[in-house]
Structure 1
Amino acid sequence: MTELFLVRHGETEWNRERRIQGRTDIPLNETGRAQARATGALLARRRWDAVLSSPLSRARETASLIAAELGLPGPELIDGVIERNYGDAEGLNFHEVDERFPEGTDVPGRESRDEVAERVVPALVELARQRLGQSLVVVSHGGAIRAALSVAEPGVSHGMITNGSVHSFRVIDGTLRLIAFDDPIEFESIGADTGALSAQNAVEARDRELT
């Protein structure tokens, strides 16, 4: 059995502006850095074997700040947990999405939810196989974590995946299983000084509409 605690990266300016990021490489803002440090300090209450990350800079910096709090080396990168590709919708805010891509309109270049799940989950299972019995922190993105949830608990509707939130999984016999959505550690890791929950992860708030 391997434990995987999936952490969503800290806030960016595009999160604050409610713009769709996807694969666009937007760095953390100061709020996001504070969120990462707070999450790392709480994760430090227990032992971890390694910190890993999506290659995008907002995830890498979050992971680096967490690793520093845990006293671990900088993150190893995993391409398979990179964010969903939102194609031509990237960089747009909600109003612009509604204007350019009315409901039912295909978004050129957008990765489907199934395609996201088909790369994210095997990447996590393979990571667990390579590091059997370890406890790992994996910093990723809202769309990628949503894909993992859809496989671990198919048909279950979970809430918003907020910046800096923690979602715990186990891989047992090659199967990804959810321990806790919004692991209890999250409620301490996101406080009044790290940004309003209602303003975080604009894409996640409307994920169903952006399918």
Structure 2
Amino acid sequence: MPTTRIILIRHGETAWNAERRLQGHIDIALNAEGERQADALASALAGERFDAIVSSDLQRAYQTATAVARLHDLPVETDPSLRERCYGGFEGLLYAEIEQRYPAEFAAWQSRDVDSTMPEGERRAETFRQFYRRAVDAILAWAGAHPGGTLAVVAHGGVLECAYRAALGLSLETPRTFKVMNASINRFTIKEGNLVLDSWGEVGHLRQGALDELP
């Protein structure tokens, strides 16, 4: 079987990342630092050969993917299945605000109850288990569409967390002890239909620190 390679990338920084405000499906653009990170990322990947560049349809991911695509003469294909987890009524709030308004739901979330539900907001929230299946299935579907190829997939911190857990066989209930950095490069291969982690958290191309995704 030909080996399929996935370079999985978290989008650059947004203003809401910087102030610890939960984004979810809210469509926030990159800030100036995020644009700088996207350009640095593009330069770091200029020597790679990609068969496709795929992105979440949210603009923070799409902007990051577009920076990479400019140096490869490839279109950016978008897929809403690569979006961040939907947090329902939590979206748009600071962590402190979530804890104050929804103490029981916040406690369940922080204790990693992977089947707990959040209050509905503009959208219906996903459980972590639902989100995990969506994110991993989306990555594997794109890999299956390009057997033996190399793909750049630009998504979100939660999507990267799901891929990491899938590759290492980590229980969904375990605390997240690994970092998911803005504009980081994370390399996977597909073996027998499963994700295998090759390298994680490459950020040497960034001259300044990148923010870890909120836990």
Q: Percent same amino acid at aligned positions?
A: 36
The aligned amino acid for 2:68 is I
1:167 aligns with 2:149: no
Unaligned 5+ runs, structure 1: none
CA distance in 1, matches of 2:199, 2:127: 25
Root mean square deviation of aligned Cα: 1.7
The match for 2:200 among 181, 187, 190 is 181
The aligned amino acid for 1:176 is L
Deviation at 1:162, TM superposition (A): 1.2
Deviation at 1:158, TM superposition (A): 4.4
Cα deviations across residues 134-161 of structure 1 (Å, max 9, x unaligned)? 1110000001111111111122854221
Query: Number of residue pairs matched?
Result: 195
Task: Report what 2:133 is aligned to.
Answer: 118
The aligned amino acid for 2:183 is G
Task: Report what 1:152 is aligned to.
Answer: 167
CA contact (8 A) 2:183 2:203 kept: no
CA distance in 2, matches of 1:165, 1:7: 6
Moved more, 131-140 or 79-88: 79-88
Q: Quick check: which one's helix share is greater?
A: 1
SS of residue matched to 2:161: helix
Task: Report what 1:190 is aligned to.
Answer: 206
- Structure 2 length as normaliser, TM-score? 0.84
CA distance in 1, matches of 2:135, 2:73: 24
CA contact (8 A) 2:55 2:61 kept: yes
SS of residue matched to 1:181: strand
SS of residue matched to 2:108: coil
CA distance in 1, matches of 2:182, 2:66: 16
- Structure 1 length as normaliser, TM-score? 0.86
SS of residue matched to 2:204: helix
CA distance in 2, matches of 1:154, 1:100: 34
Unaligned 5+ runs, structure 2: 110-116
